[in-house]
Structure 1
Amino acid sequence: MFTPLVCGAVVFPGLFYTFRKVLRSTFTRWSDADVVSVSERLAPSQLMSPTAAGVTVVASCRDVMTDSHWLVNGFVLFGAPYMAHDIYAMYLSHFYNQRAKGQVGAHSGHSLQTVRAFLFKDWMLILHHLALLLIFVRGLGDFFIGCLFTTEFSTPFISIGKILIQLGLDHTRLHRINGIIVLLSFFTCRIMIFPFMYWMYSRQFGIPLHRVAFHLPLQCNVGNLVILAPQIYWFILLVKKANRLYLRQRGGKGDGNKDRPKTD
């Protein structure tokens, strides 16, 4: 039972610290902030496996309320250490970025002030992680947990986009293609998955879609809202960022491509 939990506790921190060591020796000019930031983004590359598990579970469950699948318990235990460690990795990234900006002394260590600043800055991401962890542990039915597994499909592409920016490749065609994939996968797997879950419930029990929320326990609706609200906010930010990038590149072309990077 605890084997997946132990594996997750070894795999995700192990990947993070391995990437830190490799990047530090490979990109010797990178700062600690650069190394930690990219390492944090590389570690979620393993999240395609829960996505595959989620699709398998969703496709296998005929009854959305009572059907179970053996993959769910294993991946809940395997993913729990990732949620916990990712919060720690985000804090390290915040700490070294603050140090690079001079807001933390070059020789200063971790303090309650840096932790408080991190909690204030990234409270929404932390809340998202904790909410998912709580829902996965308590359980909503294997079908619904399988749907929530699929929300991680967009995470590796988001990480790739930030890594490309870190490498100075944010004006390349690869970055633009990845940006389109981010928008499509984020909208499909992190936003539309919630109407899909309610639609599947309404289809099984023969009730109108708009009445489903009144048939579900309050904690289910609140849990879904806590997870969905940040997704909508982050998607709006992604769309605004994509629009700024499009306008900037369009303006560059209008100037005869004089600022066009050689990497494209």
Structure 2
Amino acid sequence: MLKIFVSGCVFFPGLFFTFKHIFKTRFKNWKDADGALVSERMVSAIHAIMASTAGVLIVASCSDIMTDRHWLATDFVWFGAPYMAYDIYAMYQVHYLKEKDKGHAEYKGHSIHTVTKFLCKDFLFVLHHVALLTIFMPVSLFLRRGLGDFFIGCFFITELSTPFLSAGGVLIQMGLQDSTLHKINGLMLLLTFFLCRILLFPFMYWVYGRNYNVAFYKVALHLPLHCNLGNLCILAPQLYWFTLLCRKARRLFLQQHKKRDGQSPKTS
């Protein structure tokens, strides 16, 4: 397990710095923040593809949702855990370089102030990553007593929407925010986010009820309180982020509509 964990510690930061070097060499007109942003998005997409693929394999292999085992349910947690710590660092780098490129005097060097500003700006994302490291990782590796690989696979599948989120940022960086490809990507993001990060939770309750012959509306009463609270804590930010995505999609749609009518879109 240590080798798998160390591999993750090397793999994700290594990809990030490799992409940064490639983009710095290839796109001479990009600022440091541009290269860091696209690199962070690329690594996020790669991690998400790996996680969701592992999730599909685990879910497909488990006939009994509680007792069937799959080696990826443990190994990928060890491999993917370093990504959460790395991504906090990568998001901070993007934040720092963006503010530095704007010429803010306080961003001439790293300090407690720059870190605090980052934590305030991206608090929910950082909290999400920290919770995965401090709660999801110990539970999935040490506390579940080898039960529920199926549900670990389901949680991996929540990452399926991330490649579309990352692709949206890359397309904007490439100046393709008004392209048909960006619109299609936005629709895929909304669809996969809704299916894999919101509907996934009632799906898990439904599967549990079907396996144990419990009516769907009674499943929550058959589960320990900490399971329901844990699911609620994970679902709540997903609902918040989905609301933000819908608002952004609506705003972009209205802007495009005004452009077609020959009007200038309002500045958001």
Q: Same fold (TM over 0.5)?
A: yes
- TM-score, normalised to structure 1's length? 0.92
- TM-score, normalised to structure 2's length? 0.90
- Per the TM alignment, residue 165 of structure 1 is displaced from its structure 2 partner at its CA by 0.8
Partner of 1:154: 161
Partner of 2:28: 28
Partner of 1:49: 50
Secondary structure of 1:124 counterpart: helix
CA RMSD of aligned residues (A): 1.7
Partner of 1:67: 68
For structure 2, the 5+ residue unaligned runs are none
Distance 1:118 1:190 in 2: 25
Matched ranges for 1:43-122 at <5 A:
43-46=43-46, 47-105=48-106, 108-122=108-122
Q: Are residues 1:206 and 2:213 paired?
A: yes
Would you say the 8 A contact 2:106–2:114 is kept in 1? no
CA displacement 1:62-98 (0-9 Å, x = unmatched)? 2222222111111111100111101110111111122
Matched ranges for 1:128-147 at <5 A:
128-133=128-133, 134-139=135-140, 141-147=148-154
- Per the TM alignment, residue 40 of structure 1 is displaced from its structure 2 partner at its CA by 0.6
Tell which deviates more after alignment, 170-179 or 109-118: 109-118
Partner of 2:193: 186
One-letter identity of the residue aligned with 1:101:
K
Identity of aligned residues (%): 53
Q: How many residues align?
A: 257
CA displacement 1:131-185 (0-9 Å, x = unmatched)? 2332133125211110000011111110000111112110001101111111111
Distance 1:206 1:104 in 2: 63
Distance 1:218 1:39 in 2: 40
Partner of 1:177: 184
Partner of 1:226: 233
For structure 1, the 5+ residue unaligned runs are 260-264
CA displacement 1:17-64 (0-9 Å, x = unmatched)? 001111111111211111111111011232212211111111222222
One-letter identity of the residue aligned with 1:158:
L
Alpha carbons of 1:222 and 1:104: their partners in 2 closer, same or farther (altered >3 Å)?
A: farther
Distance 1:157 1:144 in 2: 23
One-letter identity of the residue aligned with 2:238:
Q
